[in-house]
Structure 1
């Protein structure tokens, strides 16, 4: 994994890395990654719709989880990895398409866990969704997923 927030962090390299797997489906373009703030944008459209033609709530949950995890990982650095243990997302306004912005900021950062808030807004600055993610800080990363 590339350095997410160090002096040598390269946003092009980070974006290429994060677009692998499920990240390619979301299409996020990260414009800032630090341990104090993460900003990204993406273009929502029909490939992210639910049957009634609006962006699926799961897209917002996924973006919020991704943003919080990237920020948490940038803050934790080489001390370990983070894993999401709770995601609470509120859907505030429906949207069909357009450029959406997401901004993540820490609410709490401790020894064993972190909480991040993520706001998603449309191109007119209207709040579309807001979520909080609790992350566990994992030092023993060899056993994650086993």
Structure 2
């Protein structure tokens, strides 16, 4: 997206998955290779490829990558839902690592558990190419109303 296109975006709800991926260029989620594949107020999906640069010393996917993906997908979903009312920020991220992964593509899916006036809670499940759950987490978001 050009700077003008970015400036024209009033909220995350105005973006397609491709535009969100483009908007993320140069960010931490771009560094790990996260690509958005679905973007709506009720579900956000993304995927990335496991590669040696994302390993921890034991030669498996680093858990910090899971935490990043979980935080990112939940925050984007919360932001899409909250829309022009303001912005959202993560205030808690609990991530469980369930299965070691050394290769392949991983898929994350974020869905809301609760969306209130001041807070939201989203759950994110990460699966592998075989559909097995490899990690799961939940993120509590604070809704920050736009100041006029």
TM-score normalised according to structure 1 size: 0.90
Q: How far 1:67 moved relative to its partner? A: 0.4
Quick check: 1:61–1:89 contact (8 Å CA) kept in 2?
A: yes
Quick check: 2:29–2:68 contact (8 Å CA) kept in 1?
A: no
Residue deviations 1:96-119, cap 9 Å, x none? 111000000000000000000000
Are 1:50 and 2:56 an aligned pair?
A: yes
**Among 89, 96, 107, which residue is 2:113 paired with?**
107
**Among 33, 40, 46, which residue is 1:40 paired with?**
46
Report the counterpart of residue 29 of structure 1 in structure 2. Answer: 35
Quick check: 1:19–1:28 contact (8 Å CA) kept in 2?
A: no
- Pair 1:141–1:82, CA change in 2 (3 A): farther
List runs of 5+ in structure 2 lacking aligned partners.
Answer: 1-5
List runs of 5+ in structure 1 lacking aligned partners.
Answer: none
> 1: distance between equivalents of 2:132 and 2:39?
23
Report the counterpart of residue 5 of structure 1 in structure 2. Answer: 13
Alignment of 1:50-69 (within 5 A): 50-69=56-75
Alignment size in residue pairs: 140
- Pair 1:141–1:45, CA change in 2 (3 A): farther
Where 1:5 maps in the other structure, the secondary structure is helix
**Among 129, 132, 135, which residue is 2:135 paired with?**
129
Where 2:59 maps in the other structure, the secondary structure is coil
> Moved runs in structure 1, 4+ residues, more than 3 A?
none
